[in-house]
Structure 1
Amino acid sequence: MCRSIRYPSKRRIEVDVMKLLMSDFEVNLVNDNMQEFYVRFYGPTETPFAGGVWKIHVELPEQYPFKSPSIGFMNKIFHPNIDELSGSVCLDVINQTWSPMFDMMNIFEVFLPQLLRYPNPNDPLNGEAAALLMRHPSEYEAKVKEYVQRFATKEAADAAMDDDEDGNDEEMSDIGSISDDEAMES
């Protein structure tokens, strides 16, 4: 009896992505590839991000779940721990303390909502947002809301989706991941 060999990481990728596909999240696979996809993410209620809609780009490495996924915001967001230009996310649980116990649902149901609820201005990717949050919290909140109205509408997320389908995808292979050198510096 001969069976095809299925590598555990491939199976885990399929299971995690299927859970996401069957959830309430809108997920769009890139070329039917379960290792690269986009998720429509909504800002958590009772935060300045409420009402915002973002397109999140996700790439799962071959070594997933032993290596963390790459996560990036495709439409603009004003947040101390998210790079405004690249969409890179600075989140310890994704970058440094990732564990195979976590899955994609954790990222979208827990980690990203927590990141938006509790920004860490002491470890910024966006220095302007961090400084504003620390010095003038009400101005920070107003600017977040302005960005939500300008860049995080359903239309903006749809436009970001359409841009990629037209082949205008920006290079994002390292979004959400840091190199070993950067980890040593932290």
Structure 2
Amino acid sequence: MANIATQRIQREFSEVTKSDESQKNLISIELVNNSLSDLRGYISGPPDTPYEGGIFHLDIKIPETYPFNPPKVRFLTKIWHPNISSVTGAICLDILKDQWAAAMTIRTVLLSLQALLSGAEPDDPQDAVVAKQYKDSYEMFKLTAKHWTSVYAMTGFDKWRYPDFDYKIQRLMEIMKVDEDRARVALSSNNWDLEKATQSLLS
């Protein structure tokens, strides 16, 4: 890694660790295999959103050309959000593409992603299926996003339970002989209509 990138990341790593947001457990960061080019980021789901209570893990790759080019970031934790792929974790956020500036930092990125969880941009989606649900059936979107947060981003006794969702997932797994994740995606994508979800897996 270029010397300028190494120096920047060392400084930014310290900045995140000492930040108020880190002290409040809102964001954090760690090295993967002691490499300054391979980081793991964590953001907590913002209050009063379907992501509240969840901890979301991020894969952050620092390019040789940093800070003149943005880091490559994706969600490792599965999430139901219009601007984040429910399949790959890819993110649609302008500062990770053409609106990046060399003055920005990893802390900027983590806080911007946290802000994205508070305010989705469904007209510029990464996941068209989620964006359509967000625009056409917002209450269903909120329930689905909260369910995904509970399943993928929470541990222990903090989890919420949705008996109706759980029942439909089990039924779809039995009917179509698919795993739980695939059943959940099919149902989530079809507003939890068991018949439509079954048809989507047949087509």
TM-score for both structures, normalised by structure 2: 0.69
Unaligned runs of 5+ in 1: 1-5, 156-186
Give 1:22 shift.
3.4
C-alpha displacement at 1:113, in angstroms? 1.6
Q: Is the 8 A contact 2:6 2:36 kept in 1?
A: no
- Richer in helix (by share): 2
Unaligned runs of 5+ in 2: 157-203
SS at structure 1 position matched to 2:41: strand
State the alpha-carbon separation in 2 of the partners of residues 80 and 18 from structure 1.
32
Match in the other structure for 1:20: 16
Bigger-Rg structure (1/2): 2
Q: Normalising by the residue count of structure 1, what TM-score does the alignment of the two structures yield?
A: 0.75
Partner of 2:5: 9
How far residue 21 of structure 1 moved from its aligned partner, in angstroms, is 3.3
Is the aligned partner of 1:128 residue 2:117? Answer: no
Instruction: Indicate the SS of the match to 1:71.
Output: strand
Render the CA deviation track for 1:43-98: whole Å, top value 9, x for unaligned: 11111111111111111111111000011111100001101111111101111100
Structure 1 residue 154 displacement after superposition: 4.2
Q: How far 1:7 moved relative to its partner?
A: 3.0
Query: Residue 101 of structure 2: which of 80, 84, 99 is its match?
Result: 99
Q: Aligned partners of 2:114, 2:3: CA distance in 1, in Å?
A: 32
Alpha-carbon distance in 1 for matches of 2:99, 2:10: 23
**Given the superposition, is the C-alpha separation of residues 154 and 58 from structure 1 closer, same or farther in structure 2, using an over 3 Å criterion?**
farther
* CA distance 1:33–1:22, change in 2 (3 Å): farther
CA RMSD of aligned residues (A): 1.6
Which residue of structure 2 lines up, in the alignment, with residue 90 of structure 1?
Answer: 92
State the Cα deviation string for residues 120-164 of structure 1 (Å, max 9, x = none).
111112111100110111111111101011111147xxxxxxxxx
Identity of aligned residues (%): 26
